[in-house]
């Protein structure tokens, strides 16, 4: 998802926020309540008079949209959910990630799950199983990314989950006024309509969003403005530009000012930082302090604040040590007393009512393919097509890339084979593979022609380890093997069968499966070794 350079600039004037997470849904919100933080870092809500309406209790709190606000609970099991304006959970906190509601749909991700859409009652609408990330809806379409052999590509779905525009773009913005900026493989930007048809050819090095029939574009390192036919209204001449109502907020060198629709300067670049005009006032930074000017560039409120938002319904958020609220005369309505305010409200107000939303990223973890990779080889009678009577010579022939470790009396048949993008697997056999001969300080190892297998040992390693994921793999093995009786504890599963037994061990950051004959006396945790004098051998069960 591409970000507009000037919006990034605006964000940095207000707060340290991840610029790569920008998106406007194009749906203007009524900022009724302000998410704020107390000195313990817990979030609640105040009204525009500074009165607390929902006590601080959340580790994150966003703006109310569609009557619901995204919040994150506290404690060890902290998760995202949605509350109403009374602070009551309407959708319980169970999500690892969530977007705000937009057009009555939010995207959520549960642990180990793929993104799916929910309605305001929390009911699933559709799931995007293959999506790597997805952004909120704008004008009936939501941008989503998939990953294939060509890399990450972006497309769009409708509110039923139907793919309307196939993933084909390297990067995208979002739809506004019926058009969306998209980037081709060569890095050039153009614009598409809602059918995915290119209506303004790929030609720009960057592009923004259409507002009032105009969009910001860049070429040759400079920014200008085009109309919906792609015609340049303002030639690329500014270091940064953003449409600010009937004006253009522009950067020239290291200073900021305003130009008219045709690009003629009306307020000369003179400020270190600035936000957009709202209610005929704009926050500007001179030196290290913020104040406010009118559209003629006249100072209306002297520079005196450490940070300042644009005005909203006659009021603005300012910071002097803590955050407070002022009126258009610069008088405090609520004295500086709040330790923090949410990024969401600052960005929404500063960016002219544009909603700034984070996407959700998939947490889908393909546990089933990990388990089936093992069960495809392990049955009630054989392991990888072998059994405990198979001569070692046949095993080595079947796995010509095997690796022998004399000291451990084991052979790695295959190692670190990819199961999927999340996991790898290795297989060892244990037994008296080599015979030690010699005396004194000189030993030789000769192949043992009578060698048979004492155990098969699978090791499953996760590419992105987390205890949560390891536990999900371990739990999935509970129902993996049919025809065996099963017993378990927190870190081990024991399957007993007629011909052999299987021990599944959750050990540090991997899963190990040890397969031994049913009449074997020992099952070992960690790595099985037929040499019971080995240091890493620990007896954990007797048969």
What whole-number distance in Å separates Cα of residue 390 and Cα of residue 402? 16
Average pLDDT on 176-182 reads 95
pLDDT of 38: 94
Average pLDDT, the chain: 86
Q: Which of 349-353, 415-419, 443-447 has the lowest mean pLDDT?
A: 349-353
Average pLDDT on 512-521 reads 87
Q: What percent of the chain has pLDDT over 90?
A: 69
pLDDT interval class at 4 (50, 70, 90):
very low
Average pLDDT on 225-254 reads 95
Q: Which of 285-289, 439-443, 449-453, 454-458 has the lowest mean pLDDT?
A: 439-443
What whole-number distance in Å separates Cα of residue 2 and Cα of residue 182? 9
pLDDT of 405: 56
DSSP-derived 3-state class of residue 371: helix
Q: How far is CA 107 from CA 25, 65, 103, 168, 174, in A?
A: 13, 14, 11, 22, 16
- Residue bearing tokens 């969401």: 344
Contact at 8 Å (CB) between 477 and 504? yes
Contact at 8 Å (CB) between 330 and 311? no
Average pLDDT on 147-163 reads 92
Read off the pTM.
Answer: 0.79
**Residue 12 C-alpha from the chain's centroid:** 21
pLDDT of 507: 86
Q: Which of 311-320, 358-367, 473-482, 514-523 has the lowest mean pLDDT?
A: 514-523
Contact at 8 Å (CB) between 27 and 356? no
What whole-number distance in Å separates Cα of residue 351 and Cα of residue 4? 12
pLDDT interval class at 449 (50, 70, 90):
low
- In this structure, what DSSP letter does residue 42 have? -
The torsion of the CA quartet 115, 120, 126, 129, rounded to 10 degrees, works out to 10
User: What are the residues whose beta carbons fall under 8 Å from the beta carbon of 318, sequence distance 6 or more?
Assistant: 290, 305, 306, 307, 308, 309, 324, 325, 326, 336
pLDDT digits (tens, 9 = 90+) for 56-67: 999 999 999 889
pLDDT interval class at 33 (50, 70, 90):
very high
Contact at 8 Å (CB) between 530 and 430? yes
Tokens of 345: 């409200």
pLDDT interval class at 370 (50, 70, 90):
very high
Whole-angstrom Cα Rg for the chain: 31
> How many CA atoms lie less than 13 Å away from 453 in the CB half-sphere?
28
pLDDT of 431: 79
pLDDT interval class at 533 (50, 70, 90):
very low
Tokens of 65: 């949209």
pLDDT of 7: 41
- Residue bearing tokens 């500063």: 350
Q: What percent of the chain has pLDDT over 70?
A: 86
Domains and CATH numbers, the chain: 5-361 (2.130.10), 367-542 (no CATH)
pLDDT of 352: 54
- Residue bearing tokens 């305001």: 120
For the chain, helix (H) and strand (E) counts, in that order, are 5, 49
pLDDT digits (tens, 9 = 90+) for 469-479: 999 999 999 99
């Amino acid at each position: 998802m591409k970000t507009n350079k000037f919006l990034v600039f605006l964000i940095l004037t207000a707060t340290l926020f991840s610029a790569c997470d920008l998106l406007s849904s194009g749906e203007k919100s009524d900022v009724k309540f302000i998410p704020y933080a107390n000195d313990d870092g817990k979030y609640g809500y105040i009204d525009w008079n500074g009165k607390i309406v929902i006590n601080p209790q959340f580790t994150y709190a966003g703006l109310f949209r569609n009557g619901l606000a995204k919040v994150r609970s506290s404690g060890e099991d902290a998760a995202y959910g949605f509350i109403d304006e009374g602070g009551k959970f309407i959708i319980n906190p169970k999500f690892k990630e969530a977007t705000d509601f937009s057009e009555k749909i939010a995207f959520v991700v549960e642990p180990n799950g793929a993104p799916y859409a929910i309605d305001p009652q929390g009911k699933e609408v559709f799931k995007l199983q293959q999506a790597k990330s997805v952004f909120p809806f704008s004008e009936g379409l939501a941008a989503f990314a998939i990953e294939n052999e060509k890399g990450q590509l972006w497309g769009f779905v409708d509110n039923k989950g139907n793919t309307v525009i196939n993933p084909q773009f390297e990067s995208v913005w979002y739809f506004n006024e019926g058009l969306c900026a998209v980037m081709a493989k060569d890095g050039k930007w153009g614009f598409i309509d809602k059918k995915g048809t290119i209506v303004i050819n790929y030609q720009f090095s960057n592009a923004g969003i259409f507002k009032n029939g105009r969009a910001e574009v860049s070429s040759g390192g400079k920014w200008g403005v085009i109309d919906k036919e792609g015609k340049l209204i303002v030639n690329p001449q500014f270091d940064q530009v953003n449409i600010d109502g009937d004006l253009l907020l522009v950067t020239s060198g290291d200073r900021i000012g305003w130009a008219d629709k045709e690009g003629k300067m009306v307020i000369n670049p003179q400020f270190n930082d600035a936000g957009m005009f709202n209610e005929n006032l704009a926050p500007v930074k001179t030196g290290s302090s913020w104040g406010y000017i009118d559209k003629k560039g006249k100072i209306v409120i002297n520079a005196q604040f450490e940070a300042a938002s644009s005005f909203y319904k006659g009021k603005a958020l300012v910071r002097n040590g803590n955050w407070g609220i002022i009126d258009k005369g610069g008088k405090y309505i609520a004295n500086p007393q709040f330790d923090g305010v949410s990024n969401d409200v600052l960005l929404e107000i500063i960016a002219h009512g544009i909603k700034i939303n984070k996407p959700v990223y998939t947490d889908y973890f393909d546990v089933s393919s990990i388990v089936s990779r093992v069960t495809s080889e392990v049955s009630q009678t054989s392991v990888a097509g072998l059994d405990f009577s198979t001569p070692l010579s046949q095993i080595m022939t079947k796995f010509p890339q095997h690796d022998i470790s004399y000291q451990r009396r084991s052979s790695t048949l295959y190692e670190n084979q990819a199961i999927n993008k999340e996991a790898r697997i290795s297989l060892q056999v244990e037994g008296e593979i080599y015979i030690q001969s010699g005396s004194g300080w000189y030993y030789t190892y000769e192949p043992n022609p009578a060698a048979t297998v004492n155990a098969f040992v699978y090791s499953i390693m996760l590419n992105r380890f987390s205890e949560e994921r390891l536990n999900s793999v371990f739990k999935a093995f509970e129902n993996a093997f049919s025809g065996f009786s099963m017993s378990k504890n927190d870190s081990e599963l024991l399957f007993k069968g007629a011909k052999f037994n299987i021990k599944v061990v959750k050990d540090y950051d991997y899963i190990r499966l040890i397969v031994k004959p049913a009449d074997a006396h020992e099952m070992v945790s960690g790595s099985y070794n037929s040499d019971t004098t080995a240091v890493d051998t620990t007896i954990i069960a007797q048969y």
